[in-house]
Amino acid sequence: MPLNTGAPRISPVSEPHTISLMPSVVPAAFFYSFLLDFLRRGLSNTLGVDSLPVMVLHPVYLGIGSNLGDRAGHLQHALDRLSELTQLVAVSSVRETEPVGPIEQGQYLNAAAAIETKLPPRQLLEALHTIERASGRDRTHEKRWGPRTLDLDILVYADRVIDEPGLTIPHPCLHERRFVLEPLAEIAAELIVPGLHQTVSGLLTALERAESGASL
């Protein structure tokens, strides 16, 4: 079932809960996006121009988190806005997770989403910040890794590797965060993460091994 007719409904959960998974649709959609991008680049090279004015839909994966206020409501808000702004392709289950990091804070609801968008990375980041602000997030009064109403991270943007001030893609903590890899693996287990050259499921297995080794 394609999701571009609107976002799925979220409800508060304490256990992993499947909202909508489309194992057969997702790989096909992403394959065609990559194919279109590949053809566009080939044509640009043949014609000797930097880029063609073709608006390609880029496959992007997002991490979504909330641990303040109406957590499920904030996730729902994010999905609703994303489905208006982009093609919402798939959404993982929503899981309640223990807070990670140096700051004492409440439990999170975490999920991952696959979208397709024409927005370039910077514009997408700005759009995500606008969605966060509409959920009451105010970065001027918060600590890094501290509690937040809504956090939207760009985990992967097509095959791009970006390391610029204010924008790092793939997200620099992706491979260290179970709350990111588990939902992402539900919707994109075989995705090879650019720059890391490993699949999402491979990164999750490596993290699980490292964590179980650390606890021995």
Q: Which residues bind ligand A4P (CB under 6 A)?
A: 65, 97-101, 108, 110, 125, 139, 144-145, 151, 153-154, 166-169, 171, 173, 177, 179
Distances (CA, A) of 131 to 78, 138, 148, 151: 6, 11, 13, 9
Q: How far is the CB of 157 from ligand A4P (least distance, A)?
A: 8
Catalytic residue among 80, 137, 144, 159: 137
Q: For residues 149 and 176, what is the distance between their CA atoms, to the nearest angstrom?
A: 22
Q: Minimum CB separation from Mg ion for residue 9, in Å?
A: 24
- Check residue 182 for interaction with Mg ion (CB under 5 A): no
Q: CA quadruple 90, 86, 166, 53: dihedral positive or negative?
A: positive
Candidate ranges 31-39, 44-52, 146-154, 202-210; the one touching Mg ion (CB under 5 A): 146-154
116 makes contact with Mg ion (CB under 5 A): no
| Tokens read off for 16 | 């992993």
Sign of the torsion angle spanned by Cα atoms 120, 121, 124, 126: negative
Number of residue whose CB is nearest ligand A4P: 65
Name the binder of 93 from ligand A4P, Mg ion, none, CB < 5-8 A by kind: none
Q: What is the dihedral of CA 80, 63, 128, 121, to 10 degrees?
A: -120
Contacts with Mg ion, residue ranges (CB under 5 A):
151, 153
Residues with catalytic function? 137, 148, 151, 153
